[in-house]
Amino acid sequence: MRDLSCGDTRVYLEIEVRRVLCRSCGKVKREELSWLADNPFYTKRFAFFVGRRCRASTIQDVARELHLDWKTVKELDKQYMQEQLRRIGRPGPKAIGIDEISIRKGHTYRIVVSDLVRRRPIWFGGQDRSEESMDLFYQWLGPNKSKRIQLAVMDMWKPFRNSTLKPEHAPQAKILFDKFHVMRHLGKALDKVRKSEYARLTGRSREFIKGQKYTLLSHRENLTLDGRRSLKKLLEANKRLNTAYLLKESFGQLWDYEKEGWARRFLENWRAALKWQRLGPYEDFALMIIRHWDGIAAYCQPENKVSLGFVEGLNNKIRVLQRRAYGLRDEEYLRLKILTCMLPEI
């Protein structure tokens, strides 16, 4: 069986494995060696070396480097990740983040649940983003650990909330709607205003609006010098877009308040600024915020101050893993990759 290489020289171990006759069942059984991988042609430490290399490289690159078949590399990487999960143990989270990811075309979703305190994903599963799929997480976690959950961060998808607040799941948990999903709805409202202005204007007045979608949606500090110049020209040329942009930028202050009363007063002032502005999408957005106010105002409480950006950052990391594994259809391998992407090496 193959062991760790010495420099550029491959090392193989030749051993004798005993076979014994079992007196109980009368069958011949092979000796078990704890230092062998699941594939008996490789040692366990070689399998872990392959797993560490696969954290930063693709399967094909590792297979080419070590002169192995890509299927062998994949199976050794699976064993490495399973050992990582075994060592970390079953989680008992107090604050969870819930989101869904698309694993293929055709609106095929899987749910990802993260531990926001330890900052790592802990569950990947379900068949879609329905309430029944979300129930599978709480069944996997168990009733005792589900009762310890104090905070659940999610988007405004109703099935996630309904499943969490079931009496047998985590009815004591406070629901907090993710800031990034809320701001995404506001960005869509701003884009609707941009499209309506483009349709209303004619001639040269359209030149300032055309192709400026991402200039408007981005924060000013993230724009290049040319982007800032284009934004300045656009806001000077169109009063309605200027108002919509300023309202979008100011709305982020809502999550800075430490008391719900101050946050509510800010929202009412923000709604009052919409009067006579003829910004229909913004008025619809404000009504949506009022309907889901409890899940937004929960962030004002000091015990609910958790990292809201972790869930969105994890989604970006998952998309990188999916691009790197382009062409693979093994969902179990994707699940292991997601659950171990934040774990330390072994």
Residues 6+ apart with CB under 8 A from 62: 50, 53, 54, 68, 73
**Percentage of the chain surpassing pLDDT 90?**
53
Residue with tokens 């069944």: 139
Sheet holding 174-177, edge to edge: 120-125, 108-115, 95-104, 151-154, 174-177
Q: According to the model, what pLDDT value does residue 175 have?
A: 92
**Taking all residues of the chain, what is their mean pLDDT, rounded to a whole number?**
89
Q: Which CATH number fits domain 95-178+309-340: 3.40.50.12780, 3.30.420.10, 3.30.9.10, 3.40.50.620?
A: 3.30.420.10
So where are the chain's domains?
2-88, 95-178+309-340, 180-302
DSSP of 58-73:
-HHHHHHHHT--HHHH
Residues 6+ apart with CB under 8 A from 332: 78
Residue 174 backbone class (left: φ over 0; alpha: ψ -120 to 50; beta: rest): beta
- Residue 326 predicted with pLDDT over 90: no
Residue type, 117: V
- Residue 68 predicted with pLDDT over 90: yes
Q: What is the pLDDT of residues 107-127, one digit of tens each?
A: 889 999 999 999 999 999 999
- Give the confidence band of 56 by pLDDT, cuts at 50, 70, 90: confident
CA distance 88 to 90: 7
Q: According to the model, what pLDDT value does residue 327 have?
A: 58
**Percentage of the chain surpassing pLDDT 70?**
99
Query: What is the β-pairing status of strands 95-104 and 108-115?
Result: antiparallel
**What number is the average pLDDT over the span 115-142?**
93
Q: What is the pLDDT of residues 20-35, one digit of tens each?
A: 998 889 899 888 888 9
Residues 6+ apart with CB under 8 A from 341: 121, 314, 317, 318, 321
What does the DSSP 8-state code read for residue 257? -
Q: What is the pLDDT of residues 42-54, one digit of tens each?
A: 999 999 999 999 9
4 SS3 class: strand
- Residue 78 predicted with pLDDT over 90: yes
30 SS3 class: strand
Q: According to the model, what pLDDT value does residue 328 have?
A: 65
- Residue 145 predicted with pLDDT over 90: yes
